[in-house]
Structure 1
Amino acid sequence: MKKATILLVFFTLSSLVTLAQKSSKIEKQFLEWFFIKNLKIKDDHILYVSKSSVYTIKEMKKYFDKDTLTGLILSRKITVAPQIIYTKNERKYVVRKIEKLETETLPDNILPFAKIISSDTLNHIFNDRTKGWNYAYKKGIKGYYHFTKPIFFRNGTLCIFDYGYGCGNLCGYGNTSVYKKTEDGWILCLQLDNWIS
């Protein structure tokens, strides 16, 4: 009986490790596509914050208050907003994943050209009114990204992802969008919000 229990625990842990590795591989593939092919980042390095903000998580949850995700109309040629109707189980699953973002942190070097900028560094720069972006520029910080872990649903064919880039007092942009898996990577399916400063 003891051997059976030990074997069961071993196989369960092995399965969890395999699942985690598969999940992180899919996340990495999406992030590489997003930053390299979609945003066409050519920098030899970018900085990013390792944790999602409380505000971002709160805003992302709002999209799942109803059973339909409705995107923004991004072209004058389109007169009806694009939508995705999701199941109750998909909704519960995605909301749980969004809530997990509150405690999860992105690993360092999640991409070959990316490096975490610590919250302490940002607080040191931006909580002091005498410093701010001019000080950041002098220290070689041209800007930094913040983004969530990609959340995959519908058997990995759809992904909700939030990102933003801050580069100055009136310099920044970002959005929350749903992407659809294709043979070549991903395509924008719905843009749920966007901002620019």
Structure 2
Amino acid sequence: MIRIRWYAPLFVFYWMISLHANAQENSSAATLIRDIYSNWFNDRPFAYQECDTFFYSDKVDTAIMNKVKANFLSDKEFKEWDPDQAAYVKRKTRFTLEERRYIVAQLDLIKNMKWPAKMFPFAYMIPLEKVDPLLTKTDQSKLKPQQKICMEVHHFSSPIFLRNNTLCFFYLGKSTIFSKEGAFWIYEKIEGEWKRLASIYEWSVANTGKYNKEIDFFNIP
């Protein structure tokens, strides 16, 4: 579940870059994105309250979006996620040809989209190409372990809405000195809250030792 909070400046920003979308979509997009920041701020372990900066990249890796697009085009239906069972169920989500064309076009647009600096309070934007060098530098530095853990870079896409703002396609990822991961999910709005419906693409890779190998959850040998 993604929590609903209010952050007016972000709403204004998203309205400026999405003049083609309706007001309802703008509000939902702002809610989804600002909740990434709110969740980070409220869920920090007490011992690491010195993590006072929210790091995020200016865009999502094009290679990841290409994999998302390939998965979406190759699958005609997607197994739905049941949070109560914590498992996929037999129900499946399907899309019309018109809907699929629209989603593909929007995925292509995301590849060229960049987030600005200062989107949130106490936040710092890092160009995507500088994320890995910065994490390596942090890992090799003499900073305290707690400070190294604070170097957590978030990646997120512009939300894509469908079916009168009841479905949303959204990518969330994270890079740390230990690992990288990301997931592109379809969310469904239920009683005013966005909840996971189905997964299109998920991935994870460890940064060190024997785990330095990408794990593609959709193509496990």
Regarding TM over 0.5, the answer is: yes
Instruction: Quote the offset at 1:79 in angstroms.
Output: 6.7
Could you say which residue in structure 2 is the equivalent of 1:61?
A: 69
Deviation at 1:123, TM superposition (A): 5.9
- Residue aligning to 1:11: none
| 1:24-59 CA distance string (max 9 Å, x none) | 433111122355359954565311111121211111
Cross-structure match for 2:182: 174
Q: Which has the higher mean CA deviation after the structures are superposed, 102-111 or 88-97? A: 102-111
Percent of residue pairs bearing the same amino acid type: 21
> Can you list the C-alpha shifts for 1:81-131, whole angstroms capped at 9, x where unaligned?
5421011111011100000112111233334454311246436536xx7x3
| Aligned residue in 2 for 1:186 | 194
Q: Which residue of 1 aligns with 2:29?
A: 27
- 1:8 match: none
d(CA) in 2 for partners of 1:24, 1:56: 25
Which ranges in structure 1 are unaligned for 5 or more consecutive residues? 1-15
Runs of 5+ consecutive residues of structure 2 not aligned to the other structure? 1-16, 45-50, 207-221
Q: Which residue of 2 aligns with 1:13?
A: none
Q: In 2, are the aligned partners of 1:31 and 1:111 still within 8 Å (CA)?
A: no
SS of residue matched to 2:131:
helix
SS of match in other structure, 2:140 = helix
Aligned to 1:134: 140
Give the one of 76, 95, 110 matched to 1:101. 110
Assess, with a 3 A threshold, how the Cα gap between structure 1 residues 123 and 34 changes in structure 2: closer, same or farther: closer
TM-score, normalised by the number of residues in structure 2: 0.64
The root-mean-square deviation of aligned C-alpha atoms, in Å, is 3.5
Structure 1 residues 162, 78: CA separation in 2 closer, same or farther (over 3 Å shift)? closer
The answer to whether the 8 A contact 2:79-2:198 is kept is yes
Count of aligned pairs between the two proteins: 178
Is contact 1:73-1:81 (8 Å) kept? no
What secondary structure is seen at the aligned counterpart in 2 of 1:101? helix
Whole-angstrom distance in 2 between the partners of 1:188 and 1:75: 12
- C-alpha change, 1:77 and 1:118, in structure 2 (3 Å) is closer
Contact 1:179 1:186 in 2 (8 A): yes
